[in-house]
A and B are shown apart, each in its own frame.
Chain A
Amino acid sequence: MLEVNQLECRRGDRRLFTELDFSLSSGTLMHVRGRNGSGKTTLLRTLCGLFTPERGEIRWNGESIRELGEEYRRDLLYFGHTNGIKGELTGLENLSIAATLDGDRVEETAIWDALKRIGLAGFEDLPTRMLSQGQKKRVALARLILTRARLWILDEPFTALDVDAVALLQTLIADHVATGGIAALTTHQEVPLTSGQIEQLNLGN
């Protein structure tokens, strides 16, 4: 359960939002909406603990994420504007490093399966800089299949993806929420859920 209390964030000298309150229990999907510059990305980065809020507190299962530190990050998966994969490394290497850093022991076969499911069969051994934009993004999204994180924070995950990949990502998110996970995302794409509930958060006016 993720709780946000009286959150206030500033970028430079500009106040983005103030007195933000919400809580997400397991099996919830949150859509964050707002104009450009309304602070969507900043909010997501604050939820990750990357950005220090001016005021307010974020709690994960009742404890402040500042104090939880690495314990919180074990439960967290963040997907930002950059893919977070190395162009010189193959998809396989990228994913296995990511898994090691997440503290998961993932079998190589699991990574092969994940890459196959995301539609990159046959590209596993290519350095990812050889791949197209959409394919790179797919490599990064394959982490969603492998991860055991309970909380997914996804910033514009659908951009640069083709129809098939969008459908797959929608399924992944829906499955995650259906199995009791929490997801927060900024997107213009609707995600049809099989079970669980949807929250809407509008930033700015």
Chain B
Amino acid sequence: MLRVFWCILSRDLTLAMRRRTDVLTTLFFFVIVVSLFPLGVGTESKALQIIGPGVVWVAALLASMLALERLYAADYEDGTLEQMLLTAQPLSLLVLAKIAAHWLLTGLPLVLIAPLVGMQYQLADSAIGIMMLALLVGTPILSLIGSIGAALTLGLRGGGILLSLLILPLYIPVLVYGAGAVEVSQIDLADTQPYFALLGAFLLIALVFAPVASSAALRISLE
């Protein structure tokens, strides 16, 4: 089991390393979107602190969604995805490994760049810490849920737009509690605990159900 998981994970990471631009585009997209807001809203530090958490989360949502399109697309085109459906391994395990690789490549960089973005919005150090933690718990949920949508829209024309239509409403809970945690941390750090409890619960549920739903979606899409 672990050997197969590792095999797919390292495969996808190797592929990404041989085609580095894909990873960097997502990251820069995130940074650019976040940097544009102060230009539109105004640079007053009070206003920035209020909108900061929400903006960062919306940008993270969009960035992870844009990256999702590539989660299965390349493997679909060259037929390796079809071969994965025919291996002697449970498909949801392979899917989980692919999602994990995808998160390491597109979600984790967002977490790591968060302090930089937080400074743009004049967030306090503690708020930045909470934001990193919230992103760390929240972005895997985005990848997991998004994978279902990516599998459903596989190979469709205009798949990217469609994907956002299907997936963004499902991202609402993560957005609400992820941004909420950062907001609350600016008032009282202790109050953030229930937010993390909820995000953690979502993550666990998504870990159990999303790979199963994604593999069902893949089987439908590859018929």
Contacts and interface: CB of A to CB of B under 8 A. Distances in A.
Given A101-B89, A102-B88, A50 B222 contact: yes
Contacts of B87: 73, 101-103
Interface in A76-99: 76, 78, 80-89, 93, 97-98
Interface residues of B, number: 27
B223 A51 contact: yes
B197 to A, nearest CB: 36
Given A89-B11, A97-B7, A101-B4, A82 B88 contact: no
B15 A101 contact: no
Nearest to A77: B86
A86 B4 contact: no
Contact of A48 (B77, B78, B86, B90): B86
B7 A78 contact: no
Point out which of A70, A71, A76 has the most chain B C-beta atoms below 10 A from its C-beta. Answer: A70
B89 A103 contact: yes
A98 B83 contact: yes
A52 interface: yes
A93 B14 contact: yes
Contact of B86 (A76, A81, A89): A76
A127 interface: yes
Contacts of B77: 82
A59 interface: no
A73 B78 contact: no
B19 interface: yes
A74 interface: yes
B90 A88 contact: no
B86 A82 contact: no
Interface string A28-60: 000000000000000001001111100000000
A50 B82 contact: yes
7 contacts: A50-B85, A74-B88, A80-B82, A81-B79, A84-B83, A101-B88, A102-B88
Interface of B: 3-4, 7-8, 11, 14-15, 18-19, 75, 77-80, 82-90, 94, 219, 222-223
